[in-house]
Amino acid sequence: MNKSLLAIFIACFLPLALVAQTYPVSIRNTTRINTGALEFSPAYYGNGIVFVTSRKQGGMIDPKIGETFFELYYADLDLYGAPYRPEPFSVEINSFFHEGPVSFNHSGDKIYFTRNSQQRGATTADKSGRVSLKVYEAHRGLYDWERVREMPFNSNQYSCMHPSLSYDGSRMFFSSNMPGGFGKRDIYFVDWDGQKWSEPINLGPEVNTPNDEVFPYIHDNGTLFFSSQGHTSLGGMDVFMIDLSGINWGRVINVGEPINSRQDDFGFVIDSDGLKGFFSSNRNGGMGKDDIYGFDAPDGLKGMRPVANVALTLKVIDGENNAGLSQAAVRIFERSNDGLIKDGNTYSAKLLDDPNRPGEYIMQLDRKSDDDLGAPSILSERNGEAELGLASNKEYILLVSKDGYQTKEIPFIPRIQKGKAQLDVILPKRNCVNLRGLALTEKTERPIPNAKVRIVSSCGGKELLLQTDLDGSYNYCLEFGCVYTVYIEKVGFRTGQTQISTENVRGSRSFSSSVRLTPTGETAVRKPLAEGTVIVLENIYYDFNKASLRSGNARDLDALARLMLKYPTMEVELTAHTDARGAADYNLQLSQRRAEAAKEYIVRQGVSASRIKTQGLGESAIRNHCKDGVDCSESEHQYNRRTEVRVVRINEPAAME
């Protein structure tokens, strides 16, 4: 986009924008999603990005630009942050006309997007004759985005576009050519007061110029990124940033090379840590007209301050005497949208017998014991206090523990705090002794998964039934004053046992016990999971009627990947099922795509693709009465939506190397 002489003249008399100095930033063309068409304006969503593209084959052509009407596509990101192959994002959002840049709220259940203004099936034009663009809102429903409605600041007389919502949802930025601005298209914002949006407010001459300011993106730390031709640029449209977090704003800064070039650079986003992101450009050497590029900035962007921390004073209190508890362990974990700890390694998996289907197992995840979670983030001081600094743009789960006390799991959301936060955590005494048990094979000392654990108490002959997880371990808290006999049983092994006494135990002591089982032959050692074993993964959630996994909802697949990495000879067949709603042919295709998506997810964890076969059975294997035409609850339909894993082959070496 060439600058006019007038724009150059005006720019000479405007305050010069600062240009960021050279800094270590690497960029790459995201070749998996770019085509010869237009791809631009990525936005983070779930496990990936949503972006705008004109790639649709055979779609309607917009005669004004000679491209098919823009649609939204979604692509998962791999472990290194690079996008995988994309798929259409939404049937409801994608229309016959243009859909443009989007923004999501923090929980991902509300979307704001750009679309052509539509009245009675036709688009409307502003006074200049150009088609108006409007900002729309939609909510995530059971099957797709629903309740699509216009934002109140739209007009048929001018365009509003490119929404960007702040982290807390209280402010939205957008670009518009509404009357009264400083240039062609200016950046505005509106505030949400809990019931309605305010009137649009122009950001003023610090940001807006007589030319175009478009594609705003507000980061969690209050830095606004936007593209402009009106500020000092390297050529074409450049990406700029300005700190809006304080009462006094910062100065406009050109983010510099290599993100900016001699061509148009726009549609910029950066992750919550400020270390990597994406942008769009029509620079030379791309795959198409506009391409999406990824970038890494290991030291951050020059001029971009880190996300603010919230200071938290956490005080651990002895529940018995109400005194501060010293040397209590505080572990800090990031919280995902499902309310669980984001790091899947904090959970252990076990296989439980399905009471409704003999011979099948259900994958169950439990948080690991405190001792298996690694070193604590911090220990409380003598007065029981621990000082924490937590990023304001994240949510956390705090685990507070100490031997002899019950562990507390506390969700903490920094952004809702006012000033310095204080949190008192009362730990009740634990009137039992923690037992950390492990079942191993004799000599080779390999963990024995899925073994039955029977604990018999001398106090009244009470009997408890447990099961080892996929790492061969189990946990239980034993009452004081009893003698316990622990029996461990597994087909292919002689029963092993040990005895533990808590008769003379006081205080916070815990037990660790390993029981070694003698195999009756090599089969049980070579095949820790029997070939033909079927494992049902019920806790995998897909986005609407799509194959893309929802953010934070693939923990069963994480556990399966860890299991397959533990047993390198294990090969599986992965089968996906849908419920009966929808056409049978569509469900069959959908289940196959979901099986492939689940396989792709496991492969990203380091498992060879050759070890996983996939198939989709659609609605052909309904497990309950919820067939076509039967009225069922959502939980009953969910019972049919599952992924099954059948162990096809496993043959581990008989001896440890």
437 and 423 share a domain? no
Q: Which of 232, 265, 296 is the last residue of a domain?
A: 296
Q: Which of 491, 526, 561 is the endpoint of a domain?
A: 526
Residues 421-478 have pLDDT tens digits of 999 999 999 888 889 999 999 988 889 999 999 999 999 888 999 999 999 999 999 9
The amino acid that residue 430 corresponds to is R
Same domain, 127 and 141: yes
Asked whether residue 16 is domain-assigned, the answer is yes
If asked whether residues 110 and 247 sit together in one domain, one would say yes
Predicted pLDDT of residue 210: 93
Q: Are 488 and 592 in a shared domain?
A: no
Parent domain of 380: 309-343+371-427
| pLDDT under 50: residue ranges of the chain | 1-16, 120-123, 656-657
Q: Is the dihedral of CA 135, 137, 140, 144 positive or negative?
A: negative
515 and 540 in a single domain? The answer is no
Tell me, yes or no, whether 272 lies in a domain.
yes
Q: Which helix (H) or strand (E) segment is 475 a member of?
A: strand 473-479
Instruction: Say how many domains are in the chain.
Output: 4
Same-domain status, 485 and 499: yes
Give the CATH number for residue 420. Answer: 2.60.40.10
Q: Are residues 377 and 412 in the same domain?
A: yes
- State pLDDT tens for residues 90-101: 888 888 778 899
Give me the amino acid identity at 224: L
Query: Looking at the domain assignment, is residue 110 inside a domain?
Result: yes
pLDDT value of position 274: 93
Q: Is 349 part of any domain?
A: no
Say if residue 437 is in the same domain as residue 582: no
The SS3 call for residue 421 is: strand
Q: How far apart are CA 193 and CA 359, in angstroms?
A: 56
We report the CATH number of the domain holding residue 19 as 2.120.10.30
Dig out the tokens for 164 from the structure: 């960007």
In a domain, 245, yes or no: yes
- Residues 443, 411 share a domain: no
**Contacts of 376 by beta carbon, 8 Å cutoff, 6+ apart:** 329, 330, 331
Structural domain includes residue 352 = no
CATH code at 458?
2.60.40.1120
> Which residue among 427, 444, 459 closes a domain?
427
- For residue 68, the model assigns a pLDDT of 83
DSSP H helical segments within 412-452, as ranges? Answer: none
And the tokens for 511? Answer: 């037990």
The pLDDT assigned to 561 comes to: 92
| 81 close to 33: Cβ distance less than 8 angstroms | no
